[in-house]
Every structure is written in structure tokens, then in C-alpha cells.
Amino acid sequence: MSIDAIKDRLGNFAKDVKLNLSSTLNDQTLSEQTKYGLLLASAISTRNREVAAAFEAEAAKHLSPAAFEAAKAAASIMAMNNVYYRFVHLASNKEYGTKPARLRMNVIANPGVDKNDFELWSLAVSAINGCGMCIDAHEKVLREGGVTSETIQTAVRFAAIVQSVAVALEASTPAQA
């Protein structure tokens, strides 16, 4: 399935979603690698197989194999980290924050692509998954890496749009009886 096919399946109620998606795909403020890695990681994080497949097909046209794998790694590693660190942040017992996570996450230190791209993709996934602790950590690394607040906002806006596409697609699909 293509992104255009998904847009065609969205109901009339999702006109804003379609327009936002089109503007995202036409946006040229990010490099191709940054943009398509971000869209891919975000699409995977929606957990909607059709959305993920459509963005995977599009991203494959724009990303090197290493960047394609790194975007999938960002979605995967953040799925784990977002659950763990959201728990640490939300738990009343702050003792959990003093314990080692004991989670393997070597890909963050060696993602195989530009560090800022990987951090931006991780931030977008963390925004979708609602982990404030991870959002703060990735935003801090990005700012230290020279990434502007405008670029960070764009990344999170793109993630929000991809998430809205997944929700609108589900709302456009008749429920099975």
C-alpha cells in the first residue's frame, strides 16, 4: 500500500489529516535522510501495520540501507526505553530512578547514521509514546548537538501527523462485526 492509497482511504472527516500529511511530504526543511527516517520511525511507532508498510515503501526510495535500519532501530529501542523510563518517571517510589536500567541499548551510541538524525527519530518516537523523561533527554542531546528548536518542533509535528494518519485510517475502516 502506498501513502497516496492511505490518503484515499481516509474519510471526509480527515481532510485536515490529509492536508497535513501532504504538507509533510512536500516539506523540504529537513534533509531527505532526516525526514524519511523520521517518518519511518514514527510510522512504525503507530503500531498500525498498513501505515508502517506504506511509509516503509516510501522511505526505501529515499534512505540508504543503513539509515533504513537505523530508523527501525530507533522505533524499536524507544519502544523499550519509553516504557521503562515512563515508569521510572511516574512511579511514586523514586528509588527506581537510582537503580541501573540494565537494558541493552548500544544502538543509541552507535546508530550507524548521523547522531542528530537518530536522536531526532528517537525524540519523535518518544513523543508518540508519551515518555516525558525520554523527550527531555533527547531534546537536550539535540540542542547540545546544535539542532535548532525549529527542527525539533518540526520533527515532533511530523510524528503527530503520522500518528493522526494511523488513527484516521482506523476510524475510516468499518469495524468488523
Name residue 136's amino acid: D
Q: pLDDT value at position 174?
A: 79
Q: What are the tens digits of pLDDT across the range 25-52?
A: 999 999 999 999 999 999 999 999 999 9
Which positions are catalytic? 131, 134
Q: What is the mean pLDDT of residues 139-167?
A: 98
Percent share of the chain, pLDDT over 70: 98
Alpha helix ranges (H) inside 30-131: 32-45, 49-60, 65-90, 106-109, 115-129
Q: How confident is the model at residue 5 (pLDDT cuts 50, 70, 90)?
A: very high
Would the pLDDT of 159 be above 80?
yes
What is the DSSP track for 131-170? -HHHHHHHHHHHHHTT--HHHHHHHHHHHHHHHHHHHHHH
- Would you say residue 177 has pLDDT above 70? no
* Mean pLDDT, residues 57-80 taken together: 98
- Per-residue pLDDT for 20 more than 90? yes
Per-residue pLDDT tens digits for 90-112: 999 999 999 999 999 999 999 99
Average pLDDT over residues 7-11: 95
| Chain mean pLDDT for the chain | 96
Residue 1's pLDDT is 82
**What is the DSSP secondary structure assignment for residue 47, as one 8-state letter?**
T
Could you tell me which residue, 175 or 10, shows the higher pLDDT? 10
- Whether residue 57 has pLDDT greater than 60: yes
- The residue behind cell 541499548 is 105
